[in-house]
Amino acid sequence: MKSKSTEGLINHFGSVRIRLNGTGNLKLNYYSLDDSISETLVTLSMSSAPGKEILQLSNFTTQRASLQIRTTEIDEVFKISKIVVYAKSVASGYPQ
């Protein structure tokens, strides 16, 4: 079967699942190409032993997205061993 290229498609980034241990609050942001648009996700409250992978919803539509993860306060620590980004193509391109 002929493969379909996903190059340039418009994607909806609906959630991210993270294997996360830590203390403090974790800040997550999506950025588009050139950081022209972004979205701030709901801050995650970290636990040293959460006992589960955390699924965080998002609503970000762009061609390609980069996820930034950070802390901003003293003595906050995070350890991430897996990140799964869920996205779905919703359009083939922007209007000309």
Partner 1 sequence: MPTRSYGVSSLVVVNETVISSGTFSNAGTKFDRFTAASYTLGENGEISYDAIGYINFNLFPTIPASASITRVACSGVASGALTTSGTGGGSSVIFISFTSYPGGSTIEEDGEALTIEGSYGQSLGWEIIYDPPKTRAQIITLFGSAGNYPTSGTYLGAALTCTAFADIITPGDASSNATLSSWTFEVTYDLENYSWYIKPTIKIVNGQPVKIIEDATADIVQVIDGEDPPEVLFGELPYEFYGTGEDFPDGPEYVWWESVDFYIFYIYSPITPSVPGITTWIPLAAPPACVGCLTLTLGSLDVLAADASGIYVLTNNKSNDTLYVRPDGGTVDVKIPNPRIRIAYLP
Cβ 33 to partner 1, closest distance in Å? 7
Q: Is 83 helix (H, G, I), strand (E, B) or coil?
A: strand
Cβ 2 to partner 1, closest distance in Å? 19
Beta-ladder partners of 92: none
Q: Residues 16, 56: contact at Cβ < 8 Å? A: yes
Chain positions contacting partner 1, by CB under 8 A? 6, 11, 13, 31, 33, 64-77, 79-83, 85, 87
Closer to partner 1 at the Cβ: 5 or 96? Answer: 5
